[in-house]
Amino acid sequence: MKKLLLLMSLLMVFILSCGGKKEAAQDKDSIKIGVIGPLTGDIAQYGTSTIDGFKLRVKEINAAGGIKGKKIELVIADSKGDPQEAISIFKKMVSQDKVDFIVGEVASTASLAISDFAQKAKVPMLTPTSTLFDITKGKDYVFRVTFTDPYQGVAMAKYVKERGIKNITILINTSNDYDVALAQAFKEQAEKDGIKISEEKYTKDDKDFKSVLTKVKAQNPEAVFIPDYYNTVGLILTQANEIGLKTQFLGGDGWDGIQTNFGAVAEGGIFASQFAPDDPSEIVQKFIKAYKAEYNTEPIIFSALGYDAGTVVEAALNSAKDLSRESIKEAFKASNIDNLVTGSLKFDENRNPEKKVSFIEVKNGKLTLKDKF
């Protein structure tokens, strides 16, 4: 039975790989891109914002004539944030929809799940937002637009040192790879810099944080680092406010969106990001205007990264020798782009971008640019 399952798995990879050779983009009327992300579920705001940003950029590209005379066609599917659902979607997109490459996933766990399949099937994959380091490691067909968990964790620790903070508590969601990786990178760098670290832990099933927050309050830290997503962080900050825990709260890019429902309790919080709505850059302001006109809502970091993924796609496809998957992969690898909303992009040896980190403060219910580091 095990041998049969192994044979079937290898056959599927062979079929997925061969599919790209039989129907290369240059033999079709359009360039077909599979887009995978959570459009429903707990992190739907991330998926919707990312995909909306990407759709907006593709709309602009098509309006300007497309790529080498071909329009971009999108095949969009809802993963619900479930890695297994993302795998099923990936297989269908490659074997049945005959996409030329994949943009997605949005969540790190789902991107990690499909990255192995993308590599084995030799299908280029570009995730706009997933930060887990292992997604691209050892996979030359897999790329990302955002910076990684270790990258922003180290940057936040150095920023904390620069602010003179010497005593900090980390609240870690042990059920979430994003939290764990970001917390670990932050902790290692902070300890190197002589910052005293305390840790408290919780899981994805926890909703009542008052017990752990009471422990934190007794430690009297100068700051509390919460590397979780905005919806959980909002609950934690609400309960911290209820028990009178007043300190400097810090976070990673998963905080973006916290201003929507938790602006008051998050007031004064600072988090690492790559996008600030009040950044005076012409590129940033032009994007914000276009996004608001298209969707009648304010963009967040995920919107900006989705939009930038479209610009990376455009540059790669225009510079590719041809529109085969191999050529698209090589064009992605050679990317060197300055005109992005989230900053310039050039891939390192692991196909991860090195970028400036923006530090965003929640102020009067809005996200404001505090520093770039």
pLDDT in tens, 67-101: 999 999 999 999 999 999 999 999 999 999 999 99
Decide if pLDDT at 28 tops 90.
no
Residue 13: which pLDDT band, with cuts at 50, 70 and 90?
very low
User: Are 265 and 304 found together in one domain?
Assistant: no
Last residue of a domain, one of 234, 257, 273: 273
In a domain, 5, yes or no: no
Same domain as 285, residue 142:
yes
Taking Cα atoms as reference points, which of 48, 72, 105, 80 lies closest to residue 291?
Answer: 48
Amino acid 205 reads D
Q: Is residue 235 part of a domain?
A: yes
DSSP reduced 3-state for 278? coil
Q: Within a domain: residue 322?
A: yes
Average pLDDT (14-22) is 44
Query: What was the pLDDT predicted at 17?
Result: 47
For residue 258 the two structure tokens come to: 């916290």
Q: 89 in a domain, yes or no?
A: yes
| Per-residue model confidence (pLDDT) at position 111 | 97
Which domain CATH number covers 101?
Answer: 3.40.50.2300
CA dist 320 to 6, 19, 67, 328, 329, Å?
Answer: 35, 20, 11, 6, 9
Residues 57 and 169 reside in one and the same domain: no
Whether residues 169 and 252 share a domain: the answer is: yes
Domain, as residue range, for 72: 30-147+280-356
Residue corresponding to tokens 């509390």: 224
pLDDT of 27 reads 58
Task: Verify that 305 and 322 share a domain, yes or no.
Answer: yes
Q: Sorting pLDDT into bands at 50, 70 and 90, what band is 178?
A: confident
Domain match, 157 and 97 both: no
In a domain, 21, yes or no: no
CB 371 within 8 A of CB 162: no
Instruction: Tell me: do 49 and 108 sit in the same domain.
Output: yes
Q: Give the mean pLDDT of 140-153.
A: 95
Q: Of 235, 252, 273, at which residue does a domain stop?
A: 273
pLDDT at site 4? 40
Q: What is the mean pLDDT of the chain?
A: 92
Q: Where are the alpha helices (DSSP H) in 148-229?
A: 149-162, 177-192, 210-219
What is the per-residue pLDDT across 230-256, written as a single tens digit (0 to 9) for each? Answer: 999 999 999 999 999 999 999 999 898
Q: Do 109 and 156 reside in the same domain of the chain?
A: no
> Structural domain tally of the chain?
2
Same-domain pairing of 126 and 176: no
* 103 plus 65 within the same structural domain: yes
Residue 61: pLDDT band with limits 50, 70, 90: very high
Whether residues 232 and 288 share a domain: the answer is no
Mean pLDDT of 324-336: 96
The answer to whether the beta carbons of residues 82 and 108 sit under 8 Å apart is no
114 in the same domain as 143: yes
What is the CA 252 to chain-centroid distance, rounded?
11
Cα 120 to Cα 10, 113, 184, 355: the distances in Å are 10, 12, 30, 29
Q: What is the pLDDT of residue 372?
A: 86
Determine what percent of the chain is predicted with pLDDT higher than 70.
93
Q: Of 273, 300, 316, which one is at a domain's C-terminal end? A: 273
| Residue 108 token pair | 């790190």
Q: Give ∠ CA 318-308-334 in degrees, rounded to 5.
A: 45
Query: Residue 362 falls within a domain, yes or no?
Result: no
Residue 15 located in a structural domain: no
Alpha helices, H only, the chain = 2-22, 44-63, 83-95, 108-121, 149-162, 177-192, 210-219, 230-242, 258-262, 282-295, 301-319, 325-333
What pTM, to 2 d.p., does this model score? Answer: 0.84
Task: Give me 229's structure tokens.
Answer: 């997503």
The tokens for 273 are 């990001």
Residue 42's pLDDT is: 86
**Host H or E run for residue 77:** strand 71-78
Percent residues over pLDDT 90 in the chain: 87
pLDDT digits (tens, 9 = 90+) for 187-196: 999 999 999 9
CA 353 to CA 343: how far, in whole Å?
Answer: 10
Position 14 pLDDT exceeds 50 = no
Q: What is the pLDDT of residues 202-229, one digit of tens each?
A: 999 999 999 999 999 999 999 999 999 9
**pLDDT on residue 44:** 94
Does any domain span residue 212?
yes
Q: Are 3 and 301 in contact (CB under 8 A)?
A: no
pLDDT tens by residue, 263-293: 999 999 999 999 999 999 999 999 999 999 9
